[in-house]
Structure 1
Amino acid sequence: MAEATMEEMIASLKGRDFLALDDYTPEELLYLIDLAIDLKKKQKAGEVYQPLKGKTLGMIFEKSSTRTRVSFEVGMYQLGGHALFLSKNDLQLGRGEPVWDTAQVMSRYLDGIMIRTFEHRRIIELARGATIPVINGLTDLEHPCQVMADYQTVLEHKGRLKGLKIAYIGDGNNMVHSLMMGAAKLGMHISVASPEGYMPNAEVHRASKENAARTGGSVYVCQDPKEAIADADVVYTDVWASMGFEEEQQEREKAFRNFQVNEDLVKYAKKDYLFLHCLPAHRGEEVSEGVIDGPNSIIFDQAENRLHAQKAIMAALM
């Protein structure tokens, strides 16, 4: 990308929110992925790059996390800024203060907000009230920062994204919603296999298909793992009971018993398939040890790239 074009892209992204991948064009998403790869190279080379020097990110955690907290906090430090951890017990939000009021006040103190929460409506309300960028660290509907890291990792290993097939086997949750939209935006083919009663959100499915029609990609949802995984370049799964659904564990184990990603299932994928999992993983449940710890697994490259992908998002928006 030419320098002038990069400057134009930075100008167009500055001050925006990062709530859902559907808010961004394919060109903007590819720019952010390229920026993440560049920032990763800088960090590996020991090059100091601090475009956010003197800036502060407020990190609201209404859901706990390992990777999200560490990657955002370290990322802000590496970019020259400061990250402030705020649990639900640290804020008046937990005691009934309107989201709008919290957003207005935090906008007077901070340069950006990252929130990891439950209802997607909550992050939309926060963004409407804030005058600074709001970044989605996870909601029950979307997990866009994770998917930016996922597709960065695939690009690094495969050398391209457009035209690749990704198969997702498991719960039709926030993870697959962002994967579907990201694949559609980037001209990829995604096939999803989920059991009846646990299919992806119908509106996200529709919107993803509309985007795929414009980029040459495709979105397919079924209930047969073998059908979904056939000739896949990338195989992805997630826990059967996401945070907040732990009480359904036994019920979900029965529903998902034929949806484990194991050595028998991955035989239907391409031999050089990549295995991804957003972690934490339950070995022996949604994925066998032989797959997640096998030669096709790149889960720790994927986890590392949360740092670099989020640095790119923060640097561009803040």
Structure 2
Amino acid sequence: MQTSFRGKHLITLQEWTKEEIDTLLDVSYDLKRKFAMGQRTPYLQDQTVFLMFFEQSTRTRNSMEAGITQLGGHAHFLDTSNMQIAHGESAKDTAIILSSYGHAIACRNCFWEQGNKYLRELAKWSRVPVINMQCDLYHPLQGLADLMTIQEKFGRTERVKVSIIWTYATSHKKPISVPLTQSLLFPRYAMDVTLAYPKGYELPDWAIEQAKKNAEENGGTFRITHDQEEAYRDADVVIPKNWGSWVTNQSTQVVDDLLEANKHWKCTEELMKLTSKNSIYMHALPADRNNEVEDSVIDGPHSVVYDEAENRLHTAKAVMLLTMGGRS
């Protein structure tokens, strides 16, 4: 078991070893048991984490705020529109100052071709760990919770058939960070991964090549299809979720001709009938109900979205506990 974590940044799980991720999950399970039994876990007594948000959040903000409170510390919620960042303050200055005030900096910045660069600039200058709460490329906290949920539901990851499926949505032009993170992470755990999307919604070439390499090195598989029925057929896990056409079209326009042409990419009861007998439906939430998915699916017997969301708390706590207080 890996035990040296203090001060380690979490920008992407791809930069963490499997041993380190396994330790994160082991700690997540321990914290989940203690939470269920009402046991106090004041491991980060009086420690402070700064939560910088460039956009809205429900699960991420509250899992981090509740998590640090349950660990005995305190979170400062920072709306960046009310910080000097809005007047042009540099990531360098922000990182140096905030890291002198507390014990970790967490940031969500999903602006295309800006978010990950900003996180890495924070990490370059911060004296404390920087935690990625989602950027334009990665969402490691969601990936951890998803992996934990699959382990819980199947008792294994090897040979579990997972389909990451694009779906139609009109709420906003969503980042590619969730499907990209899943595509990189799941093959490392020997899953058989299918990425399904209509043409025009590609992930970056470098990410696909890395996903294939991860599969080859860890006994998993990774393939791409543009047929949604093929993606559902015999799948153990389906993750139908929208993401924007950022790779092929950098416009911030939400609804366009490409989107409307693929309105039929929707998770339905009929498609769920193609999956394996004990299949599960997952979604990072919030789901664009009746666009991405029928209510009867997300509220039905296959759905584990609320268990998945709860695991955001336990995995977030594990990340903070190990990076802020783990043995150096």
TM-score by length of 1: 0.93
1:42 matched to which residue of 2? 34
Amino acid of the structure 1 residue aligned with 2:137:
L
Which residue of the partner structure matches residue 249 of structure 1?
255
Is residue 2:226 matched to residue 1:233?
no
Cross-structure match for 1:214: 217
2:118 paired residue number: 122
Give the direction of change, closer, same or farther, for the CA distance of 1:252–1:30 in structure 2 (3 Å limit): farther
Provide the rounded CA distance (Å) in 2 between the counterparts of 1:158 and 1:275: 13
Matched, 1:29 2:21: yes
Indicate the SS of the match to 2:163: strand
Equivalent residue pairs, number: 310
Q: Secondary structure at the match of 2:238?
A: strand
SS of residue paired to 1:113: strand
Indicate how the Cα distance of structure 1 residues 96 and 113 shifts in structure 2: closer, same or farther if over 3 A, else same: same
Q: Secondary structure at the match of 2:128?
A: coil
Aligned to 1:185: 188
Report which stretch shifted further, 253-262 or 31-40.
253-262
State the distance in 1 between where 2:214 and 2:258 align: 31
Q: Which residue of 2 aligns with 1:258?
A: 264
Identity %: 35
Select the residue among 272, 285, 298 that pairs with 2:291: 285
Instruction: Give the match for residue 141 of structure 2.
Output: 145
> Which structure shows the higher helix fraction?
1
Q: For each residue in 1:42-100, what CA deviation from the matched residue of structure 2 results, as whole angstroms up to 9, or x when unmatched? A: 01101111111111000000011111111100000000100000011232222111111
What does 1:157-196 correspond to in 2, within 5 Å? Answer: 157-170=153-166, 173-196=176-199
Whether the 8 Å contact between 1:191 and 1:229 is mirrored in structure 2 is no
Q: How much has 1:24 moved relative to structure 2?
A: 1.0
When structure 1 is superposed on structure 2, of 233-242 and 85-94 the one drifting more is: 233-242
- Residue by residue over 1:170-219, the C-alpha shift from the partner in whole angstroms, topping out at 9 and shown as x without a partner, is 06821100001110222212101111111122111111111111110111
Distance 2:255 2:314 in 1: 33
**Alpha-carbon distance in 1 for matches of 2:257, 2:310:** 33
Question: In the TM superposition, what is the alpha-carbon distance from 1:241 to its structure 2 partner?
Answer: 5.5
Equivalent of 1:86, from 71, 78, 83?
A: 78
* Aligned twin of 2:57: 65
One-letter amino acid of the counterpart of residue 67, structure 1 = R
| CA RMSD in angstroms, aligned pairs only | 1.9
Structure 2 equivalent of residue 297 of structure 1: 303
Partner of residue 274, structure 2: 268
Secondary structure of the equivalent of 1:116? strand
In structure 2, C-alpha distance between the alignment counterparts of 1:242 and 1:286, rounded to whole Å: 16
For structure 1, the 5+ residue unaligned runs are: none
- Corresponding letter in the other structure for 1:69: R
Aligned-pair distance for 1:25? 1.2
Detail structure 1 runs of 4+ shifted over 4 Å in the superposition: 240-246
TM-score w.r.t. structure 2 length? 0.90
| Structure 2 residue runs without a partner (length 5+) | 168-174
Q: Structure 2 counterpart of 1:287, which letter?
A: V
Aligned partners of 1:14 and 1:273: how far apart in 2? 38
